[in-house]
Chains A and B, each alone.
Chain A
């Protein structure tokens, strides 16, 4: 029974990881791609590790430490990427989908 629950949780995690890949492929610019890539992969990784913990309960402590490590480092790396993409906007083809002028125009036309 625990085998079945563990396998279902691992499968849900794999679905999230696949949706992360699909999102990175279909999103229009760099910032939305970073958004898709980091949120979905963090959750997918966490669910896969939780599924393995259900499968082998005596590895729970080590898997908890790995989940902690993933939760600490994934947001930091995506923050560094997004900061770099924002700083280099306009060069290297990293123009965002909505430019700053569009936002200002919409704000001033109300």
Chain B
């Protein structure tokens, strides 16, 4: 009975998807809004990467909403997993002595952690010049923290300092947005800072600043989530 209902649902969905996929006609020119974005972002903002220009200036309010979702998730996981009562069965496996890491993992982490951190900072700083930006750099920083946790199992991530850093980054993002409201066109308008030379590292207004702040905030949040899952 249940299997029949599942098969029926999958057949209906499959029919809808097949209709969409078969009647798909490839575009030969951009739709008007996309054409306007592709032409406006290099000219008005001075940023070569059109997608980062859209995400951090023209649709920046959605980015703030996404940052709010990540913050709520970090708080929610802290509520679910961080009660810390000693009779909690969740931490039964982790309350024993953590197994010391082997020499291969420690040596590999010694080589890899500086490279990964450098790569994360590169992605965050070049968000407006090529693929990258705040969220991607933050995720790579969190993977760097995970590697350190694997190599030194008795390393405790300092949750209080990370929470303060993440909140400070969030406050600074909103302050940059209010500065855009006061000095330039609207909330989170990146033209508060000069556009500079096209393609340079320090250019495109406030977009690199927002990228770095977003990367710091997302990296701190994901590291807090990883630490909560661990203890």
Contact = CB atoms under 8 A, between A and B. Distances in A.
Given A72-B108, A72-B112, A73-B112, A79 B102 contact: yes
Contact of A73 (B99, B102, B108): B108
Contacts, number: 21
B53 to A, nearest CB: 25
Interface residues of A, number: 9
A87 B99 contact: yes
Contacts of A83: 102, 105
Interface in B89-121: 99, 101-102, 104-105, 108, 111-112, 115
Contacts of B112: 72-73, 76
Contacts of A80: 101-102, 105, 150
Interface string A65-89: 0000100110010011001100100
B159 to A, nearest CB: 24
20 contacts: A69-B115, A72-B108, A72-B111, A72-B112, A73-B112, A76-B104, A76-B105, A76-B108, A76-B112, A79-B102, A79-B104, A79-B105, A80-B101, A80-B102, A80-B105, A80-B150, A83-B102, A83-B105, A84-B99, A87-B99
Interface of B: 99, 101-102, 104-105, 108, 111-112, 115, 150
Interface of A: 69, 72-73, 76, 79-80, 83-84, 87
